[in-house]
């Protein structure tokens, strides 16, 4: 007897796609999957008249997709969690698609490249194109995001930019904040899905405005972290213990997230240990902060707004990012980098370069 052929019979309108299962994406996708299919499992009987919803994933790094599939495939009977072999394959099966990629080049590739989302969408009819919504959660260049959204609109779909704050822990716990840019109806369509991955969804205006908010926030975050690291180092050199100085800053006008929650000096927050107390492991990587500061500088060029403090901070973080020892550690490791500089290390050279630039 021939084995029974299982026919794929998915309800595209109710199927979700997720592309980019890295540090952030895997936790976000797990929450989206679990909260969408919660309570829906049970014995499934094949019924050709009742196409079923599925959850489709893709990552350029096959191990990332395999890991996600191993952890989730069997969780919901009759609710398939399956891989696609390209972004085009994702959009053929799913009408609501999330992307969480490193930055602009990867977003351009996944949306506009060969076997990309646009190509996949073009192979579908008008009705399927019109029901398609793309939600890009990547932190990328605002101009690139606007261009990609425009291209997707031209082929009949809708798109919003929805970068996040809250880090890997927020992604895992489903407590992220989303800053969303795009037309109001598209935001309203995206909101129920975003609510499964985060606790706040803020509509910031047109396409690109979610990224504008995210880029401004991270510009300030980078500056405040570098400033906190300088204050903590100076305090230590002047004879103050890190916990005493932190307790004073945090009840005074110098208080900020970098001093209060993610203080860069080891031992500064004895009751709430930080990445600094774990040798700067975990957290938000220096190389990602460098990337976000570069995005702020590029926006500054486009808008004509000068960012003198931001560009100094960006020089610092680009140095960290180029340095194996610092690049993949929490961005509060700028404290250690500056400390090295005190001993005649790399940071001193940065200061030299900054001073030379200022003289030009």
Question: Which residue has tokens 């980098």?
Answer: 337
Stretch of 39-47, 56-64, 143-151, 310-318 contacting ligand NAD, by CB under 6 A = 56-64
Residue 102 as a binder of ligand NAD (CB under 6 A): the answer is yes
Residue 182 as a binder of ligand NAD (CB under 6 A): the answer is no
Residue 294 near residue 322 (C-beta atoms within 8 A): no
Residue 294 as a binder of ligand NAD (CB under 6 A): the answer is no
Residue of 100, 231, 338, 347 that binds ligand NAD (CB under 6 A): 100
Candidate list 50, 67, 146, 214, residue with the active-site label: 214
For 147-160, b/e burial (b = at least 16 CB within 10 A) is bbbebbbeebbbbb
Sign of the Cα pseudo-torsion (279, 175, 227, 317, in order): positive
Which tokens belong to 91?
């959009």
Residue 225 as a binder of ligand NAD (CB under 6 A): the answer is no
Query: Who's near 251: CB < 8 A, 6+ residues apart?
Result: none
Residue 8 as a binder of ligand NAD (CB under 6 A): the answer is no
Decide whether 284 or 337 has the Cβ nearer to ligand NAD. Answer: 284
Alpha helices in 195-277 (DSSP H): 209-237, 242-249, 257-260
Question: Which residue has tokens 């305090």?
Answer: 235
Residue 86 as a binder of ligand NAD (CB under 6 A): the answer is no
Residue of 64, 90, 124, 204 that binds ligand NAD (CB under 6 A): 64
Decide whether 59 or 161 has the Cβ nearer to ligand NAD. Answer: 59
Residue 103 as a binder of ligand NAD (CB under 6 A): the answer is yes
Residue of 193, 284, 317, 331 that binds ligand NAD (CB under 6 A): 284
Stretch of 15-23, 41-49, 76-84, 307-315 contacting ligand NAD, by CB under 6 A = 15-23
Decide whether 109 or 131 has the Cβ nearer to ligand NAD. Answer: 109
Q: Please name the helix (run of DSSP H) or strand (run of DSSP E) that holds residue 311, with its range, or none.
A: helix 308-321
Query: How far does the chain reach from its first CA to its final CA, in angstroms?
Result: 83
Residue 295 as a binder of ligand NAD (CB under 6 A): the answer is no
- Angle, CA 82 vertex, CA 76 and CA 83 arms, to 5°: 155
For 299-332, b/e burial (b = at least 16 CB within 10 A) is bbeeeeeebeebbbbbbbbbbbbebeebbebbbb
Residue 110 as a binder of ligand NAD (CB under 6 A): the answer is yes
Kindly state the smallest distance separating residue 193's Cβ from ligand NAD, in Å: 17
Kindly state the smallest distance separating residue 199's Cβ from ligand NAD, in Å: 15
Residue 120 as a binder of ligand NAD (CB under 6 A): the answer is no
| Cβ-based burial of 34 (10 A; exposed 0-12, middle 13-18, buried ≥19) | middle
Query: Who's near 289: CB < 8 A, 6+ residues apart?
Result: 218, 221, 222, 225, 317, 320, 321, 331
Verify whether residue 173 is a known catalytic residue: no
Residue of 10, 14, 22, 175 that binds ligand NAD (CB under 6 A): 22
Residue 28 as a binder of ligand NAD (CB under 6 A): the answer is no
Kindly state the smallest distance separating residue 22's Cβ from ligand NAD, in Å: 2
Residue of 80, 109, 277, 325 that binds ligand NAD (CB under 6 A): 109
| Cβ-based burial of 206 (10 A; exposed 0-12, middle 13-18, buried ≥19) | middle
User: Catalytic residues, which ones?
Assistant: 214
Residues that bind ligand NAD (CB under 6 A): 19-25, 59-61, 64, 100-103, 106, 109-110, 138-139, 164-165, 167-168, 284, 288
């Amino acid at each position: 007897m021939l084995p029974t052929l299982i026919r794929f019979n998915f309800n595209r309108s109710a199927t979700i796609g997720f592309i980019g299962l890295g540090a952030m994406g895997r936790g976000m996708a797990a929450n989206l999957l679990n909260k969408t299919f919660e309570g829906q499992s049970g014995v499934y009987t094949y019924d050709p008249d009742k196409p079923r919803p599925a959850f489709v994933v893709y990552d350029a790094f096959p191990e990332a997709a395999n890991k996600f599939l191993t952890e989730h495939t069997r969780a919901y009977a009759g609710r398939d969690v399956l891989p696609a072999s390209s972004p085009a394959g994702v959009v053929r099966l799913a009408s609501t698609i999330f992307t969480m990629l490193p930055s602009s080049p990867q977003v351009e590739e996944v949306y506009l490249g060969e076997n990309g989302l646009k190509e996949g969408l073009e192979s579908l009819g008008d009705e399927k194109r019109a029901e398609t919504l793309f939600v890009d959660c990547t932190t990328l260049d605002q101009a690139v995001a606007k261009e990609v959204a425009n291209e997707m609109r031209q082929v009949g779909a809708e798109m919003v930019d929805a970068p996040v704050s809250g880090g890997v822990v927020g992604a895992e716990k489903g407590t992220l904040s989303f800053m969303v840019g795009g037309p109001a109806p598209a935001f309203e369509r995206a909101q129920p899905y975003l609510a499964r991955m985060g606790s706040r969804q803020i509509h910031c205006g047109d396409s690109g405005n979610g990224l504008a908010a995210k880029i401004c926030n991270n510009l300030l975050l980078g500056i405040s972290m570098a400033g906190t690291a300088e204050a903590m180092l100076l305090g230590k050199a002047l004879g103050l213990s890190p916990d005493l100085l932190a307790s004073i800053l945090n009840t005074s006008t110098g208080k900020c997230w970098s001093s209060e929650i993610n203080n860069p000096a080891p031992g500064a927050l004895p009751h709430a240990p930080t990445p600094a107390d774990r040798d700067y492991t975990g957290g938000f990587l220096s190389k990602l902060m460098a990337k976000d500061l570069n995005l702020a500088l590029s926006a500054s060029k486009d808008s004509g707004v000068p960012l003198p403090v931001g560009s100094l901070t960006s020089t610092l973080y680009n140095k960290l990012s180029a340095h194996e020892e610092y690049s993949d550690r929490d961005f509060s490791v700028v404290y250690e980098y500056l400390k090295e500089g005190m001993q005649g290390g790399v940071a001193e050279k940065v200061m030299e370069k900054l001073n030379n630039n200022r003289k030009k």
